[in-house]
Structure 1
Amino acid sequence: MSGTVIYSLIAIGVIAIIGLSIYIYRQYRFIKTKQAQQREQLARLEAQRQEKYTYVVDSLKILAHALQEEQVGPVEASIRIRSLLVYYDASLHQQAEYQVFDEVFRETEHIPILEAWKALDRKTRRKFERDIEQIEQARGDAVKAAAKQLLVLLNQPRH
């Protein structure tokens, strides 16, 4: 082999090495950028999750406290607490202390709410109000006890 061929092959090899090095470096930068974006996205999602969790905890505390102070009725409090407990800790529905919230919800889920409630005629609305009063009399103390227990739980530091 002549010297020119050898030098040409060496030059081609060096150019190939430089080209591949540039390609590898660009891929490395792309991957690092992608990983940084994923970390930022995870941090944003975690912040949103924490914000929602804090909102749920605060809402549960407010509802439980309002129930204790009789600022809200047991039926309304039960329905709202039951909905929020799913976001706080869904396993609480299985604990005996908190099943009363589910029971009240099931007993009242046939009662219209919001716009449907407003659209009811006076007679039908009064019938539902009597149903609510009966449920509150039957389960009011249990709901208040569960709310009190929930306040104790919510005020404990969570790991």
Structure 2
Amino acid sequence: MSTQSPYLALALIAAASIVFALAAVAVYYRLKLRTMQQHQQAQLEQLKKQGQQQRGRINKSIQIIAQGLLDDQLSLTEGSIRIKVLLDGLAVEEGVQEEFAAFYHLAAATDHIPILEAWKALNTRKKLEFDQQRQQLESDHREFVIDAAQRILGKQF
């Protein structure tokens, strides 16, 4: 029995060493996981804050454009297109889209009119035709777009 005692003692010491090493590794990885989770949480909070700031900037732009429509600083078509794009960028609910449908309707009605480089490439006659169409569409939608611009003032989405 005495010959087995040294082997048994060595086996117990080896087993305890292995258990201790595995426990140390587990503690190390648990601490590393906690640090990673804290870092991830901080990143999520930062992204949320940036998203709220971006949303605030978009809301401010909507207010400026709506006021510009009311002050005749830009055409009804341009203002409607810009507000529609900004509302879409905010992914507003369908009810909001319906409440401010005037912007969506005028934007859709003038969607066929070229813009930017395509507009520049048109000859004068074609530009005049499209401009007359735009003016007629704006005249048809004016009351609704102005009403929507007045109602959107002060709203946050």
What's the TM-score, normalizing by structure 2? 0.90
Instruction: Structure 2 unaligned segments of length 5 or more: list them.
Output: none
Corresponding residue number in structure 2 for 1:41: 43
Task: For residue 6 of structure 1, report the CA deviation from its aligned partner.
Answer: 2.3
Corresponding residue number in structure 2 for 1:23: 25
Task: For residue 20 of structure 1, report the CA deviation from its aligned partner.
Answer: 0.5
Task: For residue 140 of structure 1, report the CA deviation from its aligned partner.
Answer: 1.1
Find the aligned partners of 1:124 and 1:77 in 2 and give their Cα distance: 23
Q: Does 1:148 align with 2:157?
A: no
Corresponding residue number in structure 2 for 1:6: 8
Aligned residues: 153
Residues 13-60 of structure 1: per-residue CA shift (max 9 Å, x gap) = 211111111210121122112212211221221122112101110100
Find the aligned partners of 2:28 and 2:108 in 1 and give their Cα distance: 59
Find the aligned partners of 1:68 and 1:104 in 2 and give their Cα distance: 16
Corresponding residue number in structure 2 for 1:53: 55
Misfit runs of 4+, over 2 Å:
none
The amino acid across from 2:57 in the alignment is Y
Find the aligned partners of 2:43 and 2:115 in 1 and give their Cα distance: 38
The amino acid across from 1:36 in the alignment is Q
CA distance change for structure 1 residues 117 and 62 in 2, over 3 Å: closer, same or farther? same
Aligned-partner SS, 1:153: coil
Corresponding residue number in structure 2 for 1:128: 130
Corresponding residue number in structure 2 for 1:112: 114
Corresponding residue number in structure 1 for 2:34: 32
CA contact (8 A) 2:63 2:154 kept: no
Aligned-partner SS, 2:74: coil
CA RMSD of aligned residues (A): 1.5
CA distance change for structure 1 residues 134 and 90 in 2, over 3 Å: closer, same or farther? same
Task: For residue 117 of structure 1, report the CA deviation from its aligned partner.
Answer: 1.1
Task: For residue 148 of structure 1, report the CA deviation from its aligned partner.
Answer: 0.7
User: Which has the larger displacement, 74-83 or 30-39?
Assistant: 30-39
Instruction: Structure 1 unaligned segments of length 5 or more: list them.
Output: none
Residues 91-116 of structure 1: per-residue CA shift (max 9 Å, x gap) = 211x2x31111111111111111111
CA contact (8 A) 1:64 1:147 kept: yes
